[in-house]
Amino acid sequence: MEKIQHLWKQIYEGVCEFSTPTLERFMTDLADIKNTHFSKVQPPDTTWYKDAVIYSTYADLFNKDFSGLTQKLDHLKSLGVNCIWLLPVLESPMKDAGFDISNYEKIRSDLLGCAADASTDEKDLIFADFIKAAHDRHIRVIFDIALNHCSVDHAWFKEARKSIHSTKRDYFIWSDTTEKYKEARIIFKGMCTSNWEKDEISGEYYFHRFFEIQPDLNYRNPEVLVAMTKILINWKIKGIDGFRADAVPYLWKEEDTNCENLEKTHLIVKFLRAVFDYLEPGTLLLAEACQPPKDVVAYFGTEDECHAAYHFPVMPRIYRAMAEEKKDAIEWVMHPDFTPAIPPACQWFMFLRCHDELTLEMVTPEERAQVHQYYAKDPSWDFREGEGISARLASLLDSDIRRIRLAYSIMFTLLGTPIIYYGDEFAKTNDKAFYEEMYAETGYKDSRYLVRGRIDWIQAEEDLKNPNSLAYQVYTCIQKLVHVRKEHKVFGRGTLTMLDVHNIDKTINAHVLSYTRQIEEEQVTLLHNLSAKEQVITLTNESSAKYDLLDQPILYRENALVLPPYGFYWL
């Protein structure tokens, strides 16, 4: 409680002279919430996210609604998933796939399979049944919440735009010119031309970092921070195990800065963390910060900010390494000079694909051009004028089962917690029909809709019965990797050391990506052949080749180890 008060003072001293009464009311409410809803017994494992395998999905696109998702929980449990990341589920006009939230307190009625006018109790019960069904299967649930912005349809913004004297006016950022915050880059380059939008009702401009239908919240107003904190608490009370903090680097704005990663943004995150550590330690805060790792590491603080963060730069380097058939790009991105050490209780989250594009923001211009040219096989896949590629994993890798398996093996064994994107477990490809549907509905030529789209469960289940289908082969591969990973804590908690392996002539083999993972007495050596050609190598540590955790036969030729094209071992 003292830390919460101290952080509040750091945020608002000299910014808002009327913040003290707001804090006093909040602290009283917080103590009542603790006594009413949260046990004084701490959870047994506050670092559960280190051993998690995450499944990221939209409830509706996965299987219509929460009832449909509940029916498929056994599919996820069989796959080995023990945490679901729900992509946006809160009430929204759906102009930006649900990231434009019009009511933070309610889940969209269409996801609950009930009428829009159903009672709040009815809606709460449907969601509670889903949470219970997941928890009964030892599957945790985290979900997306956009802390930086809401929808123009949110009641706060509707009230704010009525008058400059509105009680909600200061929930947002207004100006009579577009000159303020000129150093802030335009994030949706190619889709937006300014961070300011003129409001036809009030006549002033409002600030937005994303689409113009998403006004930024004004955290200089302490009522905003209290309101957003209470919203998160209410969802925690309803059973949510953690939160993906969408667009977290942009929360605080200062003139003559780029309005990213500012000190008071970090203080806000520390405040949220302190609140949840007071209520129930281990409530996950996951930073969605598409920034260089040296900047993202700051969101861990001293284990007092986010528990975990996405490692965005790894993903494009995996694709670059596979395109070049050389290990250098991955070795470089994982080097301590690029990826600094993080606090022991913190964790990177890794992914091959997600609901967004294959982002090329965190690479050099040369890498961006190289990866874009190699993988953007259709002009419609382009995102933000060459800064990304909107394509699913199977589409990017030409539905080649060998390369898909290889990519998953790398992702599952590098540092961090792996994320499986819905449908990728049976090689779902780009969905042009869904893109056209959403373009007609929203008016935005957002190529990311290609990587979304609904699952055809009739077709998927038919494919999963056929051992010759790509869907079956990908599913069984991922299932094996997940189950083996979960049996060995070394993958979620161990150290990583890059290795060179050698050809028979003692030269370094640049095609084989190799590293060890170690925790206490357990050591696993990972070997990945990035090449379409067989590689014959020697190992300096022969004891590491006792057996393969994946039960694959280890091939030898003249006392050298043989890696088939795109083959890999977990030794």
Catalytic member of 216, 241, 246, 277? 246
What number is the average pLDDT over the span 262-288?
A: 97
Neighbours of 118 (CB within 10 A): 14
Instruction: Quick: pLDDT tens for 500-525.
Output: 999 999 999 999 999 999 999 999 99
Please provide the average confidence, as pLDDT, over all residues in the chain. Answer: 94
Confidence bin at 543 (pLDDT 50/70/90): very low
Query: At residue 77, what are phi and psi to the nearest 5 degrees?
Result: -65, -40
Q: In this structure, are residues 302 and 407 in contact, taking their beta carbons and an 8 Å threshold?
A: no
DSSP code per residue over 314-376 = HHHHHHHHHHHT-SHHHHHHHSTTTS----TT-EEEEES--SS-EE-TTS-HHHHHHHHHHH-
Determine the Cα–Cα distance for residues 454 and 219; give it in Å rounded to an integer: 36
- The domains found in the chain, sorted by start residue, are 51-149+222-487 (3.20.20.80), 150-216 (3.90.400.10), 491-570 (2.60.40.1180)
Neighbours of 415 (CB within 10 A): 20
Q: Which range among 40-44, 163-167, 327-331, 392-396 shows the weakest confidence by mean pLDDT?
A: 40-44
* pLDDT at site 541: 57
Q: Which residue has the tokens 């994107």?
A: 421
Three-state SS for 34? helix
Instruction: Quick: pLDDT tens for 323-359.
Output: 999 999 999 999 999 999 999 999 999 999 999 899 9
Is residue 246 annotated as part of the catalytic site, yes or no? yes
* pLDDT at site 290: 81
Is residue 288 annotated as part of the catalytic site, yes or no? yes
* pLDDT at site 97: 87
Q: Where are the beta strands (DSSP E) in 255-301?
A: 284-287
Three-state SS for 265? helix
Confidence bin at 532 (pLDDT 50/70/90): very high
Instruction: Quick: pLDDT tens for 158-196.
Output: 999 999 999 999 999 999 999 999 999 999 888 899 999
Percent with pLDDT over 70 in the chain: 99
Determine the Cα–Cα distance for residues 496 and 525; give it in Å rounded to an integer: 10
Catalytic member of 288, 305, 331, 424? 288
| Amino acid (one-letter) located at 465 | K
Query: At residue 286, what are phi and psi to the nearest 5 degrees?
Result: -115, 120
Instruction: Quick: pLDDT tens for 101-135.
Output: 999 999 999 999 887 778 888 888 999 999 999 99
Instruction: Quick: pLDDT tens for 126-159.
Output: 999 999 999 999 999 999 999 999 999 999 999 9
Q: Which range among 99-103, 244-248, 388-392 shows the weakest confidence by mean pLDDT?
A: 244-248
